[in-house]
Amino acid sequence: MTNPLIDDRLVDLVLWDVVDAARLTDLPRFQDHSRETFELYLGSCRRLAREVLFPTYREMDEAGAQLVDGRVKLHPKMRDAYAQIRELGVIAATRPEAVGGASLPATIATMAHAYLQAGNLSPTALCGLTTGAAHLIEAFGDEALKETFALPMYEGRWTGTMALTEPQAGSSLADITARATLAADGTYRIEGSKIFISGGDQDVTENVVHLTLARIDGAPPGTRGISLFAVPRLRPEGGALVDNDVEVSGLIHKIGWRALPSLALAYGSRGDCHGWLVGEPHRGLPQMFQMMNEARLMIGVQGAATASVAYHESLAYARERTQGRALTTRDPASPPVPLVEHADVRRMLLRQKAIVDGSLCLAAVTARLADDAEHGDARAQLLLDLLTPVTKSFPAEQGYESNVLALQIHGGYGYSSEYLPEAWLRDQKLNSIHEGTTGIQGLDLLGRKVVAKGGAALAAFSAAVREDLDRSALDVGGVRAALDRVGALTASLGARGLSGDVAGMLAHSADYLALTSIVVIAWMHVKLTNAAAGDAPFAQGLRQSARYWLATEVPRIEHLAKLCESAESSYVEMQDDWF
Amino acid sequence: MTNPLIDDRLVDLVLWDVVDAARLTDLPRFQDHSRETFELYLGSCRRLAREVLFPTYREMDEAGAQLVDGRVKLHPKMRDAYAQIRELGVIAATRPEAVGGASLPATIATMAHAYLQAGNLSPTALCGLTTGAAHLIEAFGDEALKETFALPMYEGRWTGTMALTEPQAGSSLADITARATLAADGTYRIEGSKIFISGGDQDVTENVVHLTLARIDGAPPGTRGISLFAVPRLRPEGGALVDNDVEVSGLIHKIGWRALPSLALAYGSRGDCHGWLVGEPHRGLPQMFQMMNEARLMIGVQGAATASVAYHESLAYARERTQGRALTTRDPASPPVPLVEHADVRRMLLRQKAIVDGSLCLAAVTARLADDAEHGDARAQLLLDLLTPVTKSFPAEQGYESNVLALQIHGGYGYSSEYLPEAWLRDQKLNSIHEGTTGIQGLDLLGRKVVAKGGAALAAFSAAVREDLDRSALDVGGVRAALDRVGALTASLGARGLSGDVAGMLAHSADYLALTSIVVIAWMHVKLTNAAAGDAPFAQGLRQSARYWLATEVPRIEHLAKLCESAESSYVEMQDDWF
């Protein structure tokens, strides 16, 4: 049996029931759509993922990308994979017709693209990066910039990158030093180094546009002096494309996503790198952050998709591979049973399922909030902001754990590259690092999101969860108590921060993120089981998965909350020379 | 600074204080030794690991082993690495002088060899496998077999393997089908396939001896019909070594331990594969199991060593790499601080340290029990049996988590193969699979070990822990309560098993293993802090690490115990078609 990548039944339930995506056509931007056009796009993505992308995954992972004479050569099959994703209109799917898009809701695009990601991350991410880069220009650039840079990207003739990170600064964007000097023609001359630039060069389209953070000469230090520039590899000049002095200075040997090269770039080593200011000077970081939710949501879906494809692989293996007997079978001549019959293997499978179902449902819920927020729904915006760090980090962290279980179920075979779980394990690990590490997500959640607007976001969250709990046929007393606990804990941590003890408030931000994630995923399981009535096997499975999560994960919250509340101080007080 | 692989201060404390290894010379087998000879061996291993093995690790990992014309070619540097380990007497270190050994206690050898494993697993494991194979013959074979096979292995002229697993049987040894037919000359003709045979061929010594499980024709089915054979690649015949019809049928592309090839072997495809019966017919499995503790203890040390070297790498990186500022620093012009200053990075480092220190201490404690047990100490044997599943699986599972944290601390750099943490992460994953998966360790602990001899082992364990708790200056109330909880829980689960509900008893064996491991590691931290008095930075660090474990891990036990006790049934009841 071929790997389905993602369970269609789950996606259908989530879309048409849990987030009621058919009603998205009530929103002005989506009024020309119908459930039929949504399903058409979803179906096309499913087919492309299964028939085109997944069959190329293994060979792309094995061969990776090459750096030859300063230029990147992608895997030969990347050209066709990219062309077919482009053909489907994936790059501008959610953008308006005015820029060549299809005005699809983020909700639909997110779940449709999840299949592409599960099928083969690298070509899909090449398109996703291009969307993000073009969107920055669409949102903040003037008409000329849109015409010159955004349209070719939305069209897929050019690709785009996000060029933030510098070797010396890492996650600390305040410390970036790339320089921009105003030139007589009104553009800027860019000079500096960037690192970990995914898709920073390729040979499947004629050009790449780097959305680059740099400091205009004389800008204030820190994050308030960073501006955003469009810096193409080839710049349009006199009707032609000429070299723009952005060199590939290194190819990083990533352990996963191997067909999407991560590069070090050198800007302006010949003093001839032109950059076009996007938006306001010194507003580069806030502008970037307006798009960050989008990027972080995409990471979350990538995490969910990567966990999903591995889950299905290990499920098929556990059903097919016979080994050993029931604990109570004494007759060695009885035939061996499939792995799935062993309780501990079912535990590993059900844990994966609980993580995957919860993550995919969360991706849809968050995307639906993004659609509503874009239509001016303030409550949706509050919830979106609150959920983003969880949506980004839970699939990365627990998705990784889930990928480990998929490998473990394969036993010794899983430890070899003849089987795929080890490849997805490598892919998944990136998601806890890029677009803000898990540590940063914890600080964002506790330090900003839950305390924003006097706790309004958290109140909206609690109300939304309660609404679903009230409709649940499960025993949700534990979730209710956990929700109360999160509220009280957050109030007490917020008060600590306000009293000046910010370090104490944030000491256990990792535990706070973990416990909030458990509640959020419990909420997703409640939503799923509310939506799936009846005794069909699929509904039974969802209930079992919800029961598992409520029984094994939700009770962990109390301990984590105590650690946060007490600001348990072992690592806080640990001194460098004590290690 | 070079990576120290393992902290010498920790090993010295553990050896000379926690397990009082100098007193091992009181035991008859070690009476010719002294603390000085122990330290001499330890020092030699430390130097070899740091100066010879570790510098070859990266290139061996990158190049791996090759299969050329049916023979394995190891990495060119393997020859020298192997020669130097052999030279040091590692292979027969713990064996008596009669077989060419140095009669070193397991305690000393274990901690000394941990450095070799941390330096470079593959050449070290080639020797460790040889020790295991030779020891099987020493223990169960007759004089002729010892002379022919064990001595060349102990000498290091030949290497050895453990050939148990077959493609169709995996972990289920009851299902192995390799056949042994008695021949006129008193030896057997072997026919069958084995898989995942580490070191199954190599080009650094002239011969390899496979300690092979097979069924003598007419043997009963299941585990009671399996016999053990010595099956060399080249058999001694007429004063020469002639081909013995064991072919390499495949090289498995392992994701780690890449310089130690894992092979598929085909025995007797020409009908000319001679095997020598080791020990009694049909007693192969019990004989193998008598050695299994040794192998499982070795896996545990490998896990601890692999976590240790990565911990030290990420500690050095966190001290050296500057990034960002304290949460309370508002001035962007202030210099960035080293990563180690960030609370969440210290959390990741302290968690690694707590896992590594606990695992290494546990390895020494278990090895000391093995030395005592070998001298007839029945209580030591009970404790050794009880602790073995924990010693094998905790460093594999939490060591892996620790390896993930080492990568995470390296950020984007950690996601590249230019840095070493990703390589150790790959190495570590094997330890939860080979020599009995973690699932099997859980069943072994709960289904056999803790209920053995009417609970005598558990009683001995509790008494031993209490003795150390009574001497502790830490707040160990939580550990005391946890210990009581384990006792009561085990009694209740044992009663359930006796009443016939074996499946219910064992449903949460994974959680039982996890909670017992938390208590065992807490015990190790109590031992370490009991031994390290004073306010020196090293002692402070141990106390902090103990505080961390007691505060963050020990309280988790209650929840895990409840899951076991209630036989929480989500995955137990999960049906195949509900997935």
CA distance A479 to A391: 19
**Which tokens belong to A574?**
């640990």
Report pLDDT for A328. 77
Copy the structure tokens of residue B65: 């082993």
Closest Cα partner for A457 from A420, A486, A429?
A486
Alpha-carbon distance A266 to A245, whole Å? 8
Give residue limits of the domains in chain B. Answer: 437-572
How many whole angstroms separate alpha carbon B303 and alpha carbon B310? 11
Rounded CA-CA distance B439/A204 in Å is 47
Q: B325 in contact with A at a CB cutoff of 8 Å?
A: yes
Phi, psi of A250 (to 5 degrees): -175, 150
B278: CB partners within 8 A, 6+ apart? B136, B137, B140, B141, B145, B211, B228, B229, B230, B284, B287
Identify the closest residue of chain A to B507 by CA–CA distance: A343
pLDDT score for B169: 83
C-alpha separations of A351 from A399, A549, B241, B443, B509 in Å = 10, 8, 53, 19, 15
Cα distance between residue B357 and residue B90, in whole Å: 24
Confirm if A204 and A75 have CB atoms less than 8 A apart. Answer: no
SS3 state of residue A435: coil
pLDDT at B1: 63
Task: Output the pLDDT for position A489.
Answer: 98
Pairing outcome for strands A207-216 and B158-163? unpaired
Chain B, nearest residue to A327 by Cα: B503
Q: Dump pLDDT digits (tens) for A157-206.
A: 999 999 999 998 877 888 999 999 999 999 999 999 999 999 999 999 99
User: Which residues in chain A are closer than 8 Å to B556, comparing Cβ atoms?
Assistant: 556, 559
Distances (CA, A) of A534 to A13, A87, A538: 13, 40, 9
In the residue annotation, A294 being an active-site residue is answered as: no
Nearest CA in chain B to A432: B408
Is A249 near chain B, with CB under 8 Å? no
Percent of chain A with pLDDT over 70: 100
| pLDDT lower than 70: segments of chain B | 1
**pLDDT score for A1:** 63
Residue B436 touches chain A, beta carbons under 8 Å: no
Instruction: Measure the CA–CA gap between A103 and B299, rounded to whole angstroms.
Output: 56
Any idea of the CA torsion for B307, B313, B319, B322, to the nearest 10 degrees?
Answer: -110
Please report the number of interchain residue pairs, chain A to chain B, with beta-carbon separation below 8 angstroms. Answer: 255
**B332: distance to nearest CA of chain A, Å?**
5
- The shortest C-alpha distance from B240 to chain A (Å) reads 36
Q: Which of B254, B323, B572 sits opposite A416 (nearest CB)?
A: B254
Separation CA B193–CA B121 (nearest Å): 26
How many Å lie between the alpha carbon of B426 and the closest alpha carbon of chain A?
9
Nearest to A255 among B417, B506, B563 (CB): B417
pLDDT digits (tens, 9 = 90+) for A29-83: 999 999 999 999 999 999 999 999 999 999 999 999 999 999 999 999 999 999 9
Each residue's pLDDT tens digit, A325-382: 887 777 888 899 999 999 999 999 999 999 999 999 999 999 999 999 999 999 999 9
Q: What are phi and psi of B85, to 5 degrees?
A: -65, -45
Residues A372 and A370: their CA atoms lie apart, in Å, by: 5
Residue B423 is predicted with a pLDDT of: 98
Tell me what pLDDT residue B556 has.
Answer: 98
Query: Is A196's Cβ below 8 Å from some Cβ in B?
Result: yes
Which residue ranges in chain A fall short of pLDDT 70? Answer: 1
- Give the long-range contacts of residues A165-171, CB within 8 A, separation 24 or more: A165/A194, A165/A195, A165/A196, A165/A197, A165/B412, A166/A192, A166/A193, A166/A194, A166/A195, A167/A193, A167/A195, A167/A264, A169/B323, A170/B321, A170/B323, A170/B324, A170/B411, A170/B412, A171/A436, A171/A437, A171/A440, A171/B323, A171/B324, A171/B411
Task: Report the residue of chain B nearest A10, measured CA to CA.
Answer: B579
pTM of the model: 0.97
Is A536 touching B (CB cutoff 8 A)? no
